[in-house]
Amino acid sequence: MSQVFFEDVAEGLEIPELKKNCSTQQLVLWAAGSGDFYQIHYDKDFAQGTGLPGLIVHGALKHAFLGQLVHDWMGPKGELRKFGCSYRGMDYPNEDIRCRGVVTKKYTENGKNFVELDIWTENPAGKKTSPGTATVALPSKN
């Protein structure tokens, strides 16, 4: 994995997109990985019984996708300090989920180089379904 340095980053920089598309199998994998076995994520009849159009992708899985987006970008010497999102829209299995991020701020504090980003998941209609923010510390070339 390549390393991104503080000097490489400027406000407005868009980080490499991470594209996801959840099969129902991935939702079951996430159930096992997270321990969340709520049936709206794997039992279509149950999901529809609660008024949903069908199965939906777990919010926490989208949150973890955003974690992967930032992890893969910041490289082995990057430090993830903070990341989070809120859930503003549902995503469905077999639909693209684009995980994206843009640098909003960079600054140095107590000798550490911090970068803040807006991060989000985006559905095929272009709606930001899980907008959030992240803060990472990056190494310097010097």
- Residues of this chain that interact with another protein (CB under 8 A) are 1, 20, 25-26, 29-30, 32-35, 59-61, 63-65, 67-68, 70-72, 76, 79-87, 132-133, 137
Minimum CB distance to another protein, residue 96 (Å): 14
For residue 41, the minimal CB distance to another protein (Å) is 12
Contact, 142 vs 135, CB < 8 A? no
**Would you say 12 or 76 has its CB closer to another protein?**
76
- Strand boundaries in 22-137, DSSP class E: 79-85, 96-109, 112-122, 132-137
CB 46 to another protein: min, Å: 17
Q: Between 5 and 87, whose beta carbon lies closer to another protein? A: 87
Of 26 and 106, which CB lies nearer to another protein in the complex structure? 26
Cβ closest to another protein, residue 10 vs residue 43: 43
Minimum CB separation of residue 23 from another protein in Å reads 10
Give how far Cα 36 sits from Cα of 28, 32, 86, 99, Å: 10, 7, 18, 22
CA distance 25 to 21: 11
Query: What's the distance, CA 53 to chain centroid?
Result: 24
| Residues β-bridged to residue 100 | 120
Counting Cα atoms < 13 Å in the Cβ hemisphere of 132 gives 25
